[in-house]
Amino acid sequence: MIRFEQVSFTYAGAITPVLRDVELTVPEGELCLVVGGTGSGKSTLLRAVNGLVPRFTGGTLCGTVSVAGRRTDVYPPRELADVVGLVGQDPAAGFVTDVVEDELAYALENLGVPPTVMRRRVEETLDLLGLADLRDRPLTELSGGQQQRVAIGAVLTAAPRVLVLDEPTSSLDPAAAEDVLAALARLVHDLGLTVLVAEHRLERVVQFADRVMYLPGPGLPPHVGEPAEIMRASAVAPPVVELGRRCRWDPLPLSVRDARRLAAPVRDRLAAVPPPAPRAAVGDIAATVSGLIAAYGVVPALRGVDLDLRRGEVVALMGRNGAGKSTLLAHLAGLRAPLGGQVRIGDQAPHRLPSPQVVRLAGLVPQDPGLLLFHDSVAAECRTADRDLRLADGTTARLLEQLLPGIDPATHPRDLSEGQRLAVALAVVLAAQPALVLLDEPTRGLDYAAKHRLVEMLRKLAAAGHSVVLATHDVEVAAQVADRVVVLAAGEVVADGPAREVVVHSPVFAPQIAKVLAPAPWLTVDEVDAALVAAGSTP
C-alpha cells in the first residue's frame, strides 16, 4: 500500500540529507510505527507519503514514493487525497470550519458524499473518538487534546485507505490516547486500514505496531523490523522496554501485561527495600489560587479552585482533556482575569500587571510554542530574548544548547520540528528566570533524551528556588520530576498530594514501572536499579 524505494531527501541549502536510502513497504492492513530522536526526519518521511515533500517544502527527493500504486512524483497531493489522510503535529492548523460537527463533515462535502451517508459517517466518528458531547462546540474553545481528536476524526470521516499520523497522542490524556489507539487498531484489523504513525511516547503505541522503522538521525539509513527486534537495540525505548533490557528478559516485553508476567522475581527482591523518600526541601508560598472560577461563554472551565504553589517545588497538573489545566495556567500567567476568586503571585494579581513585569514573575510556555516565536531565525529569537531581558549576549543560546543540542541557529523557527520549536520557546521563557515557571504540555514533540534534559533543567530550577508547574499528560515525565501531583476533573481539584501517593494508586496516571511492579510504589527504571543495588543484587 505504501512503498519507499531508495528514497533520500535533502532540504534546500542543506548539505546532509534528512532521509537517506529509505526502503520501506507497508502492506494493506498494517500499522507501521516510525521512531527516532527529535529532528531525525520522522515528519519529513510522513509528508513524503502524500507528496507534500518535496512539492510544498522544496528540496531534492531521490527515489520513488508510491501509495496504492500512485507515484507521488506523478500525482499531486490533491489527487492522493481520496486514499491518504494526513494529521500533522499541529491539529488546529488544518481546521477550516468553526464547529466540531462541521469540521468532521467538511471533507465529505468536498468529496460529494450523499447527505445520508455523510450523517452516518459523522455520527460513527463522533462515537469512535468520544466526541459526541463536543459536536456543537466552537473549535477555538476546545483544549489541545480535544482539537487533536477532532483533527483525526476529520480525516477518518473520508474513509481513507491510508492514514498518516504525526504525534497523534501528544496532546491526549492517557485514557483518551488509549481510546484513539484502540480505535485505530480496530480499523487496521477489521477494515484493512493502513496506518503510518510517528510518535515519541512509545509507551503508548509500540504494542500496537506490526513493524517499526527507526531513524537514527540525518544522513543515516533507517532500520526496519519487528517491534521487539528494533526496540532491543534502539536508542529510544519506553520504560517497560528499558526495564526489560536491564533485567535481560527474553522475550523483550512491549506492554505492561507482558512485563508483569516476567517481573515476579524483581518484585520479590524489591519487597524489603523502602521506596525513596519524597524531597522535603520546599520553600515559602510563591503563588496562591483562591476560589478561582473561569468559563468560556456558558461552558464552565474552573469551579472554585484552591491551590498553593511553593518555591522549590515541581507540581504536575494532570487530568483529562478539557479538565481546566491550560485555563489555570493562563490565569497564573496573567492572561485571563478571574470571573470569581483571585490569583496572587506574592502580593500581586498577575492579570493587572504590565507584560514586562509579568514575565519575571510567571513565564508560560503554551501548548503551541510557535506563538512565542516571531523572527526569521533561531539566532534572532535568542538575541531578542537577551536584549529584551537585558541579559548577557549568548545567555538564551547557551540555555537552548543545554536543552536540545545541535539546532542550527540560522534555521527559521517554522522549519523546526515540533520538539525543536518547543525547545527554543522554553529557552526564551526560562532565560528570564521567572519565579513561577509554567509549562503547558512541555514534552510534546520531545524524544526521551530531550525529556531527560528537560527533567534535569526543571530540577535545577526548583533547587534554585523557582516554583515549577507543568500541565502534562506525560505520566512518565511526571513520575521522574514531580514532587506533587494535582489532578483536575471538570474544573475541580480531585486529588492533591505527593506524586508517589497520587499516581501509584491511579490506573490512568500511573507510569509503566508502577503498573509493572504494583502494588510496590516504584515509579522509574532508575529507582528500580538503585533499589536492587541497595538490596545487594543487580537487575
Q: What is the DSSP track for 439-504? A: EESTTTT--HHHHHHHHHHHHHHHHTT-EEEEE-S-HHHHHHH-SEEEEEETTEEEEEEEHHHHHH
Half-sphere exposure of 345 (CA within 13 A, CB side): 26
How far out from the chain centre does Cα 54 lie?
26
DSSP structural state of residue 138: B
Cβ proximity of 185 and 208 under 8 Å: yes
Let me know how long the chain is. Answer: 539
- In this prediction the pTM is 0.84
Q: Are 237 and 528 in contact (CB under 8 A)?
A: no
Residue range 42-62, pLDDT digits in tens? 999 999 999 999 999 999 999
- Kind plus residue range of the DSSP H or E element containing 65: strand 60-67
Q: Is the pLDDT of residue 443 over 90?
A: no
Let me know: does 4 contact 23? Beta carbons within 8 Å: yes
For range 201-207, the mean pLDDT = 92
**pLDDT per residue as tens digits for the range 208-232:** 999 999 999 888 899 999 999 999 9
Q: Output the average pLDDT for the chain.
A: 90
Higher pLDDT, 173 or 72: 72
Exposed/middle/buried for residue 191 (C-beta within 10 Å: 0-12, 13-18, 19+) = exposed
* Distance between first and last Cα of the chain: 42
Count other Cβ atoms within 10 Å, centred on residue 384.
Answer: 15
The pLDDT tens digits for 275-315 are 887 766 578 999 999 999 999 888 899 999 999 999 999 99
Domains of the chain: 1-83+160-226 (3.40.50.300), 94-159 (no CATH), 285-513 (3.40.50.300)
**What does each C-alpha distance from 520 to 135, 467, 502, 531 come to in angstroms?**
42, 29, 14, 12
pLDDT at 273 over 90: no
pLDDT band (50, 70, 90) for residue 446: confident
Q: Looking at residue 211, what is its pLDDT?
A: 95
> How confident is the model over 126-142, as a mean pLDDT?
89
In this predicted model, what pLDDT tens digit does every residue of 477-486 receive, in sequence order? 999 999 999 9
Per the CB < 8 A criterion, the answer to whether 509 and 320 are in contact is no
Q: Which residue has the cell 523518600?
A: 277
pLDDT tens profile 317-352: 999 988 999 999 999 999 999 999 999 998 899 999
Q: How far apart are CA 522 and CA 504, in angstroms?
A: 8
Read off the DSSP letter of residue 29.
T
